[in-house]
Structure 1
Amino acid sequence: MTWIKPSFLWMMYRCGWGTKEGQEVVLAVEIDRSGLEWALAHAELSHYVRGVHPDQASWRRSLRTAPARVQWDPERDLDLNPLPYRSLQLGLSGEASRRYADEWTVSVRDVTPLAREVHAAVRAGERERAAALLPVETPLDLAAPRPVRDGSSAPGR
């Protein structure tokens, strides 16, 4: 499964500012909005939620067949501490993974130097400078879920 992590600071938490073994290179992958919308419309939540799913067995079946899964993890601050709100993590497999690689990817940039620069500013106590270096992230406004597959609303919605 390939994971999309739209939050820069959450990604820094995950890769330790690009210092964890095997995670020394940090890439920013820009994808087409229609691809993201497709993945979200065909995604299932990574965990069972009473009231969203009829029962756990239905959720498990949907999770097994969904080409994408939605997970919400705590957003992070400059010290990589959890904040009281969450950021999306979007897992892609099967058809979604193929579409991501072959159709949705617009650009790939190495942001390792940026990760190191922000981390150095944080370590030096230059919080305003570190914050000013962060990529601009804005909430994504999406339309209401629309029916997919068998005419039911999109899974996990």
Structure 2
Amino acid sequence: LRPMPTKEQWEAEQLHQYGLIAVDSKGNAMQLEKVTYDIAVQYLPNDVKQVGTSLGSFSLSAILTEALIAEFKKELSEKTASLDSDPHFWMPLTLKQDDYLAVMAKKDTPAAEASAHYQRMAAFKTRLGLGSMLGCVDVGQQAYWWDY
């Protein structure tokens, strides 16, 4: 993790090619998927203290895993949907609704579809009652990683 980079650093490091995890002053984390610097600044809260590249690796508690399986039981059994972790799980659970809808509109997702999914995930989060949904492990800026 590190302080929010400047626009020049963002572009030089091509950070628009990666997911972004941002941690606010209360320690709450939020996720944005592959956005430009201008979009990140627009949607992140003013009190962001640190940001990091999302390496696409996460752990789930048994409670959360079981709840997700129950929530998406129909889709899993009928194999009727294809959802990705960032735009369909982390982003609706960590972003404000208007911000989520705006980001998904840029991804050509119809507003009604994005809104319905956001509402579904908001109800899911409320039922769980776990509070913060996403945490971040700081592996340092010098850690080795690769994207393949």
Q: TM-score, normalised by structure 2?
A: 0.29
Q: TM-score, normalised by structure 1?
A: 0.28
Identify, as 1 or 2, the structure richer in helix.
2
RCO comparison, higher one (Cα < 8 Å, 6+): 1
Higher Rg of the two aligned structures: 1
